[in-house]
Amino acid sequence: MYIGEASKRTGLSIKAIRFYEEIGLIQNPDRIGKYRFYKENDIELLILIKEAKELGITLSQLKDVITYNDDKVNWSSIKVFLAKQRVQLLNQIDDINKKIDMLNKCYDQIHP
Amino acid sequence: MYIGEASKRTGLSIKAIRFYEEIGLIQNPDRIGKYRFYKENDIELLILIKEAKELGITLSQLKDVITYNDDKVNWSSIKVFLAKQRVQLLNQIDDINKKIDMLNKCYDQIHP
DNA sequence: TTACAGCCTCCTCCTAAGGGGAGAGTCAAG
DNA sequence: CTTGACTCTCCCCTTAGGAGGAGGCTGTAA
């Protein structure tokens, strides 16, 4: 499928998909004539990228973790990364709890 | 005191202090000659801004919440805001918990 | 053949929160 | 008088993740 359909299938904008290619996050797709042509494999990866973004994972983190063997995505290293990411999220909860403490102190210092 | 001392007193950079003035977050300080001159009031506000930033509050949020009566900072509206912000942080914890759920689902969908 | 949707590349712009540095003025001390 | 430490304004640059649009091909359906 061409990029317009890929965009609809994944919910990513056309601009975003081209951007991911530009920064090397996805491999250069095949071309039919001058048009980018995407296959199911490509769509799967784009959907993963979209979901990861919603989890707050940055593109540069993804770039480190999306690797290829013979042009095929190495999904197992992505699984490992997701497990680490879970720990990260738990740490973020701790950080927020610390902020709540700070905020309460800050609140009490303002006394008018 | 001049801006260099204000910077040391607050822990904010000189650039940051001038920037806050530029965006209207703080009022234009008095000048002695061409030099900005800060008083204790100004320092108090700058310290609040610094602490708020550490809590993840953005400058534009602060801009909405820092108001003046006769050139004096309206601290009570800041207190109200901090109370709301506490709720925000609690919501963020919920959001992160949702992300953890999403991440777990995502993890399970990758099965190699 | 022609209309028109879709695609191409390239360029500029945006937010957030300043940082770096140029070039110039100023102030006090030696 | 000069030196050194401060300060001033002005302008460009940064990261992240694209958005918007210009100008120009391409492909296909009537």
This prediction's pTM:
0.87
Q: Is A112's pLDDT higher than 80?
A: no
CA of B99, closest CA in chain A: separation in Å?
Answer: 6
pLDDT at B57: 93
Containing domain of residue A40, as a range? 3-109
Give the residue whose CA sits closest to C15 at C1'. B60
Tokens read off for B48 = 């609040």
Q: Is B67's pLDDT higher than 90?
A: yes
Is the minimum CB–CB distance between B98 and chain A shorter than 8 Å? no
Tokens read off for A45 = 């990866």
- As a residue count, chain B comes to 112
Strand D atom within 7 Å of B68 CB: no
Domain of residue A100, CATH code: 1.10.1660.10
- Position B42 confidence tier, pLDDT thresholds 50, 70, 90: very high
pLDDT at B112: 61
Work out the percent of chain A whose per-residue pLDDT is above 70: 99
pLDDT at B39: 95
Mean per-residue pLDDT over chain B, rounded: 93
Q: What is the mean pLDDT of residues B43-66?
A: 94
pLDDT at A70: 87
| DSSP output for A42-87 | HHHHHHHHHHHHHTT--HHHHHHH--EETTEE-HHHHHHHHHHHHH
Beta carbons of A110 and B81 less than 8 angstroms apart: no
| DSSP output for B39-78 | -HHHHHHHHHHHHHHHTT--HHHHHHH--EETTEE-HHHH
Beta carbons of B106 and A85 less than 8 angstroms apart: no
pLDDT at B92: 93
Q: What is the mean pLDDT of residues B50-75?
A: 92
CA of A48, closest CA in chain B: separation in Å?
Answer: 8
pLDDT at B98: 93
CA angle B95–B101–A48, rounded 5-degree value: 100
Mean per-residue pLDDT over chain A, rounded: 93
Tokens read off for A55 = 């989890």
Segment A50-65, tens digit of pLDDT: 999 999 899 999 999 9
Q: How far is CA A33 from CA A2, A60, A88, A90, in A?
A: 11, 31, 44, 48
Tally of domains within chain B: 1
Q: Which of the two residues, A88 and B112, has the higher pLDDT score?
A: A88
Of A76, A78, A96, the CB nearest to B93: A96
